[in-house]
Amino acid sequence: MDFGLVLQTDPPASRVVGLMKRAERNGFTHGWTFDSAVLWQEPFVVYSQILAATTTLKVGPMVTNPGTRTWEVTASTFATLNDMFGNRTVCGIGRGDSAMRVAGRRPNTLARLGEAIDAIRDLAEGREAEVDGQPLRIPWVKDGRLPVWMAAYGPKALALTGRKADGFILQLADPYLTEWMVKAVRAAAVEAGRDPASVTVCVAAPAYVGDDLAHAREQCRWFGGMVGNHVADLVSRYGEHSGLVPEALTSYIKGRHGYDYSHHGRAGNPSTDFVPDEIVDRFCLLGPPEAHIEKLRALRDLGVDQFAVYDMHDAQETTIDAYGAEIIPALSR
């Protein structure tokens, strides 16, 4: 199992770079960041500094979207980083939540997302692609490589992931839901004539190492609110009892009343008081190292290839070091 570190690009960027260097020293293989131009600093600028300061770490957004940058700009940016640092990027992409809504726009449609996945990958790898009806090719790309991993929860998004994406990003660490969603992605891959094992599975969730579970829950409760944004979209689209989305995912948002993006992804988010302890425990990894190892082994057995640690809480360095000292070695054996 690989391990990634997920951060927000809060200033100063030097701290983000420093934490990514620390992650690489501790055995992490991937460094991910949020991508919302209004809320945080521009991630691709920071990626250049992370790549320059590390030797093997792969970087990318978790996640970008097809709406805040034109597709040729996104592709060219990835291709430039790859040309400079040797194909060490991954494009995590989704419909767009905070990036679009904070700017007063609706998230992208799945149809547009599917077109973007193909176009961005093709352009970044030097092939011709159609962008808004115009055939384009980036002529200077040589031996480019850009895996595109899609974030998804709902049935149509999971099916699109299986048809088109190189990887699947699932932003929660509940084994029951992971099994359900991985099966849906793999079934869609088979239906599309693809090898389901070719789709990399990445589970991303907060991890907090320590014995004080009450404190850990409060530091990670924000995650249930973030996931709740996507769940609310699913409920409005499919209904609460449609059978198309597991009630194990949807039932907890009944007490949700709006969301303030100024606290998005941060400990102490006041918009997440509706999230019960049970959801925090199911969606996150909390407790002593042994508890993390046990849950990660269960996820690995379900086909998870990478666990990406959301490290937005008051124990960032401690978590990275604990993973490096005890948890990553245990999952490597």
Helix ranges (DSSP H) in the chain = 13-25, 43-53, 71-85, 98-101, 110-124, 155-164, 175-191, 213-220, 222-238, 247-250, 277-283, 289-301, 316-322, 328-332
Q: What is the pTM of this model?
A: 0.94
d(CA 205, CA 220): 9
Give the confidence band of 321 by pLDDT, cuts at 50, 70, 90: very high
- Identity of the residue numbered 289: P
Q: Residue 231's pLDDT is what? A: 82
Q: How far is CA 210 from CA 203, 277, 291, in A?
A: 21, 16, 10
pLDDT tens track for 187-231: 999 999 999 999 999 999 999 999 999 999 999 999 998 898 778
Side-chain half-sphere CA neighbours of 288 within 13 A: 2
Averaged over 135-158, what is the pLDDT?
97
Structure tokens at 92: 């995590």
Give percent of the chain above pLDDT 90: 80
What pairs with residue 310 in β-bridges?
Answer: 6, 206
Tens of pLDDT, residue by residue over 237-279, are 887 777 788 888 988 888 787 777 878 888 888 888 899 999 9
Residue-wise DSSP of 1-70: -EEEEEE--PSPHHHHHHHHHHHHHTT--EEEE---TTTS--HHHHHHHHHHH-SS-EEEES-B-SSSS-
Distance between CA atoms of residues 1 and 306, nearest Å: 5
Q: 3-state DSSP call for residue 136?
A: strand
State how beta strands 167-170 and 148-151 pair: parallel
Residue 234 has pLDDT above 90, yes or no: no
